[in-house]
Structure formats: structure tokens, C-alpha cells
Structure 1
């Protein structure tokens, strides 16, 4: 069974800014050069060419997306950040769609001080659609449960940042109008409106529940191992249902159809020296992991095989 723990969630720290496409490559390159543009926002203003609030937002996101962490009073790239955005990284300019899926995976499965919007809407929400008012009610319930103050303004700002991460940006030429890189994944879309009790209308959103042909098999395998290592560390077998629907599982985080999860794991089990095996037991499908793998070791496979995988999808 997956591990459970009492968790403290974040609702702020992003200064109301969603991630921008150039931010991670810029900051990673500066850190790789030996600079420390994030400890003091004023240094970041000069080094990165961003406003002070944007530097503070970037400091929040570079940690949440697993690219850098503060060690000994200075920011340093993580092993993932170095492999992706370092001098000889796989995707130093954030141009590959597999990197975007990995960044989505990182922020949606964050174990230390995760953001509640990601926890709620990717890991707990079971309906195919949602509205802002429904999400904000859940925010308020979480704040009440943990006895932490959360103003309606802060709650709305947090939800807006989540929405701007996955929806195309607003029209205009300002920094606020720029799309988040993760909006190209099209995981969320607007599907209509609903009428509120006071007579106003509000937007209704839907998750993309279709097959995720844009996710390569190597990326799926990376996330499957990462989930297993973090949530099922001592388990040799789990049900297919857990991989498809459990909290922080790849099926749920990517909103994959159960049939797609099954097909992908079946394909992995058919590989030479396969790490996984798909079994039928007691009228349900089971997944057996033959050996533990560290996801970091699979990054080269993702970028070596992504073009071929997508061509054959």
C-alpha cells in the first residue's frame, strides 16, 4: 500500500506568478556558472533581468520543479537540474516536450511542502470537471482542517497561478500575458460555464482524459519507477488499479485512461531485460517490479528514444 503521512501544504511563495518558459534555463545557467542569483533577489534582478517579485517566484519554482535547492546558504542544481539544464544537459533551453511532462510530474508529486492546488486537483479530484468555486471551497476546508490562516484573496491567487500554469495565457504583450511552458501540455481546458446561486456565471474546466500520446514510453517508465520508489518502496507487486488511479501514481497525475496504463506496462514487460511484469491474479491485473531502478539513471534513455517513441505512438 502507498505510504501516508500528515502533510503541510503551501498556498503561496510564488508571488502570483506561474512559471515562465525562460526562467529555469536562465537560473540554471547562472548557477552552473557559479553565480547565486536567487539568495538575494536584488542580485537576481541584475543577473537574470527579472523583476524582484519574479526572482522570488523563480526561487519558489526552481525548488518545486526539482531543478535546484539551497545547500549551505547557496543555491545549487540538483542531480535532475544538472542533467536537464546544466552545461551538457539533455534540454538546456527547455525545448523538448518530455521535459515539460517531467516538470509536471515533479511539481505534482512534490513530497516536501507541496502546493495544495496540485495536491487537490491532480491527486485528489475524482471528477472530470471542476470550477473555481468548488476548488476554493476545498482550499478553505484544508485550511480549516490544519488550523492555518488562509485569506480568500490568497486562496484565489493560488488557484489562479495553478490555472495559468496549465491554460494558455491572456492576450496582450506584458509578462502577465506570457504562457507557462506547461500550458502546451493541454492538460486543462475551458469547457463552458455554470450559474452560481447569486446569478453570476463562472467558468467550468475539464481535465484532458484522452490517451497521452505525447508522453514517451521512457518518460512513463521514469515516472513509474519514481512513484514506486517513493510510495511503494517495499512492495514487489501492486495492482494495475493503483498505478492508474492512486494518489501520486502516473495514471492519475497524467490523467491517463486505465487502458493506456495497462498497454504501456504490458509494453514495458515485453522489453528485453524488462523491469516490470504484468500478471493476472484473483481476477485482477497485477504489476510486479523485478528490480529497483533510480529514475535519474533513465534520463538518457528518455532523450535518446523520445523522437522514435513519439513517431511510433
Structure 2
């Protein structure tokens, strides 16, 4: 399976394509299975009837399927990815998001997709303030866009991305602008990666142990990093913090340094023929001995065996 990480490219960025709709429970399954039955569903006049939503929500569902990399566009048009089929087909591993591993995986897919989920990529890889206000995050994202990206991007649209990220990941209260249905129907809030602070505009995103992050998803992410970088050796510090504006597992999952290392040790215990840690020139490095191991195999062990849930 091809690596699904999408690096930051100055001329490839996306903001506001979700029509301001946060990802909801059921959308990925409903949209994916509808696409399997009719690969032109999102451009069909029947889409609103079959999906049971308005036109703008149809566009949002298509966007979220692409942003989470369950569907992708190629020269032949829109098609399902291997991981999309594995998870959300009618006989998939977890089409109804009953396993928390799937939520962690969806989060990883968003945060490692700089092309279509640029704000999510930035927030979880490049924004390192553990306490912040909405305005601080929004202004930082605008600065990042102005300094690192090309093309024209509406400042208002860019800033609004922060509001949607907070709505998707934190347990916020209903307001005149955000109704109760939107709050109760956001699956990624259960990951507790962002929490409300002491005031309505104040938020926290702390590094923690993340005991509920399954080793399978962590292993999948580690393997994707190796595939993306096309290397066999990786400094552990780069897994924690990433290259400059690169994908950083520790940051995406909001792990402490000690917990990242602990999860790597557990990964090595389970896959001693694939990974090992050695010190080279005073630098702790993770080695991958088997470059042919498929990222999907880590997930397959979890979903088909259900023997090792948490790391």
C-alpha cells in the first residue's frame, strides 16, 4: 500500500472545503458505502436523497472522506483507498466507529494530510503552545500561511479553521453559533487531545501518556513515517518533533517524550524482527530491519485478532 502521508507543499493547501461542517459520526461510513455503490454519487442529483443531507453536507462528506484519505483522486478520478476499504466497506473492520482505534486512526490521517487538511496538519505538527486562546491560534495560523504558503488564502477562512478544529476536538458548550447536535455528534472529541480552559476563549492541548492510544495505530504511524521518508534509520527525536514542518508522531498524538519511548519499546517487543533501537554517535535511533512490512498489517492484527488493544 502506498504511503498516505501528504507533506506540506507551499502551492498545495486547502482551507474551508468542509463548508464549515465538522466531521460527524456516520458520515464516513454513509459516504463511503454510497460511493462503493455509485462512484458518481457526489455529483449525482440523487446524492441529497441517498445520503439524507443537504447539498452543502454532501460536499462536506466528500471532503472529509478525502481529508481522512478514505477516498483519493487520481488520473482515473475518485477511488477508494485500501485503508478505506478495510475500515468502511460493508464487511469492513469498523464501519460504525465502535472501536476507539478507528478514531485515533482518523485523527492521524487528518493530521498527516497537509494538502487537504492543512490547518489540522499545522495545529498538530507545528503549533506547540500547550495553552492558548482562539485568537492566538488563529493569528499564528495566518502568520504560517503568509510565510510558508503561496497563492491567495482568505484570512477569514483560515481563521475559521481554528474554530472548527476546536469544535471537533474539544467538549465545548452549545452557543448561539454552535448547536447541541453539532457538539454531541463529533467523534474526535472523545480522544481528549484538546480541552476547554478557564474561559470561553481559552484552550489546553497537553502532552500525556495517552493510555488509550492503541499500539496498532501507533505502529501504523511509525511505519508510515519510514515509508514516507524512504529510510531505514530514524532518530527518535524526529519521531517526537518531526523535521522542520514535517509529520511528528509525538506531537500529533500529544505524547510525552517518555511515553513515546515506552510505546516504541512495546512496539519492538511485539515486532523484534521489524524494529530495534540502537545508539549511534550518541543519538538514539529507531531501525527498521524489514522495509517490506506493510503499514496495514499493524491494523489487521488489531481489528482481526483484538488481542492487543492499548499500548
TM range, smaller chain: 0.7 to 0.9
How has the CA–CA distance of structure 1 residues 282 and 257 changed in structure 2, closer, same or farther, with 3 Å as cutoff? same
Cα deviation, 1:240-260, whole Å, max 9, x if unaligned, reads: 111111131221110111111
Alignment partner of 1:95 is 2:98: yes
Query: Equivalents in 1 of 2:123, 2:305: separation in Å?
Result: 31
Q: Could you say which residue in structure 2 is the equivalent of 1:44?
A: 47
- Report which stretch shifted further, 140-149 or 207-216: 140-149
Cα drift, residue 273 of structure 1: 4.5
Query: Equivalents in 2 of 1:60, 1:137: separation in Å?
Result: 25
Cα drift, residue 208 of structure 1: 3.3
Query: Equivalents in 2 of 1:218, 1:21: separation in Å?
Result: 22
Q: Could you say which residue in structure 1 is the equivalent of 2:72?
A: 69
Q: Could you say which residue in structure 1 is the equivalent of 2:28?
A: 24
Aligned counterparts, 1:134-149, within 5 A: 134-145=136-147, 146=149, 148-149=151-152
Cα drift, residue 306 of structure 1: 4.6
Gaps of 5+ in 2: 1-6
- Contact map agreement 2:141 2:159 (CA 8 A) in 1: no
Q: Could you say which residue in structure 1 is the equivalent of 2:240?
A: 244
How has the CA–CA distance of structure 1 residues 73 and 164 changed in structure 2, closer, same or farther, with 3 Å as cutoff? farther
Q: Could you say which residue in structure 1 is the equivalent of 2:202?
A: 204
Kindly tell me the number of residue pairs found equivalent between the two proteins: 297
TM-score (norm 2): 0.86
Cα drift, residue 129 of structure 1: 1.8
Give the number of the structure with larger relative contact order, counting CA–CA contacts within 8 Å between residues 6 or more apart.
Answer: 2
Alignment partner of 1:34 is 2:38: yes
Q: Could you say which residue in structure 2 is the equivalent of 1:226?
A: 224
- Contact map agreement 1:25 1:92 (CA 8 A) in 2: yes
Cα deviation, 1:143-197, whole Å, max 9, x if unaligned, reads: 433454444432332221111111135438764344311111110001224xxxx
Aligned counterparts, 1:114-263, within 5 A: 114-145=116-147, 146=149, 148-168=151-171, 170-171=173-174, 175-193=181-199, 203-230=201-228, 232-233=229-230, 235-246=231-242, 247-263=246-262
Query: Equivalents in 1 of 2:145, 2:270: separation in Å?
Result: 46
- Contact map agreement 1:69 1:76 (CA 8 A) in 2: yes
TM-score (norm 1): 0.86
How has the CA–CA distance of structure 1 residues 52 and 175 changed in structure 2, closer, same or farther, with 3 Å as cutoff? farther
- Contact map agreement 1:168 1:179 (CA 8 A) in 2: no
Gaps of 5+ in 1: 194-201
Query: Equivalents in 1 of 2:49, 2:32: separation in Å?
Result: 15
Query: Equivalents in 2 of 1:170, 1:38: separation in Å?
Result: 32
Cα drift, residue 262 of structure 1: 1.0
RMSD: 2.4
Alignment partner of 1:303 is 2:306: no
Query: Equivalents in 2 of 1:44, 1:101: separation in Å?
Result: 29
Aligned counterparts, 1:6-21, within 5 A: 6-21=10-25
Cα drift, residue 307 of structure 1: 5.4
